[in-house]
Amino acid sequence: MKPAAFRYHRARDADGAVRLLAELGEEAKALAGGQSLVAMMAYRLARPRHLVDIGGLRELDRLRTDADGALRVGALTTHHTVERAPDSLLGPGFAVVRETMRWIGHLPIRTRGTAGGSLAHADATAEWCLLAVALDAELHVLGPHGTRRIAAADFFLGPYTTALEPDELLVEIVFPHPAPYAAVTEFAERRGDFALASAAVVLDRDGGTVRGGRVALGGVGPVPLRAAAAERVLADGGTFAECARAAADALPEEGRGAAYRRQLIRTLVRRACEEADAR
């Protein structure tokens, strides 16, 4: 199939892109790496009348760690840029972000697809979305009336649905706290496919002792979810096996594939805990 007819607009800068999106209204879409949007247009699952190409906005293609330890990722940073970022940019505190990139599709997709595009697209099993929830990211958004910050926990509203307004642009993703003891793991049917389920674990360690941690799951709900029961087990000094069981037991027992998904989550959470602890 071919996409429905559309008009192409190239933005000169982020403010210009927002102006164009505001002028063109709900029929317009930003085009970043095109790795999700163009496929959806080809299948006519999306039929934007206008595309605002933000792909050339170098100002949004940046990656840096601040003096306060926060990692800032410009929305147009590709998955591959992060994947090959040197230690001077992504030290031990954010190695998990770099290592997670390998799970995303195949190399050609990673060289074009962007962090911002992935978060704005909001597939429930996308790795950037899982990382954002697990690492408490803050999403910086530019609109006609200036910028606003949205916590990852409030950003994802449902499958392919976010808190972004049609005339807003995601400009930066900020991971506020280094996470040296963190790991993401997942299971997909074939290498490069979207995950069936995924788990992210961020351990809070004091020397060799685990004091608690955050556990986030992908592929088990409409958006990536924190696993509160599993986190309580970590805070109470439980084992990784108990933490994994609590994450799985909190999932629905009924429904197609429910037992299989629970088993997957149990395995993935335990593996992520062990990998995070071994860092």
Ligand X SMILES: Cc1cc2nc3c(=O)[nH]c(=O)nc-3n(C[C@H](O)[C@H](O)[C@H](O)COP(=O)(O)OP(=O)(O)OC[C@H]3O[C@@H](n4cnc5c(N)ncnc54)[C@H](O)[C@@H]3O)c2cc1C
* The one among 11, 20, 35, 196 contacting ligand X by CB under 6 A: 35
Q: Pick one of 81, 114, 185, 198: the residue that binds ligand X (CB under 6 A).
A: 114
126 binds ligand X (CB under 6 A): yes
48 in Cβ contact with 41 (< 8 Å):
yes
Asked if residue 30 binds ligand X (CB under 6 A), the reply is yes
- Sole window of 35-43, 204-212, 213-221, 248-256 interacting with ligand X (rule: CB under 6 A): 35-43
The one among 104, 183, 200, 225 contacting ligand X by CB under 6 A:
104
224 binds ligand X (CB under 6 A): no
Q: Which stretch binds ligand X (CB under 6 A): 88-96, 103-111, 151-159, 231-239?
A: 103-111
Q: Which is nearer to ligand X, 105 or 213 (CB)?
A: 105
**x-marked contacts with ligand X along 168-187 as a string, rule CB under 6 A:** -xx-----------------
Q: Which stretch binds ligand X (CB under 6 A): 66-74, 90-98, 106-114, 143-151?
A: 106-114
Name the minimum Å distance from CB 1 to ligand X.
15
31 is a contact residue toward ligand X (CB under 6 A): yes
Of residues 50-89, those binding ligand X (CB under 6 A): 75
Which chain residues interact with ligand X by CB under 6 A?
Answer: 29-37, 39, 75, 104-105, 109, 113-114, 116-118, 120-121, 126-127, 164, 169-170, 194
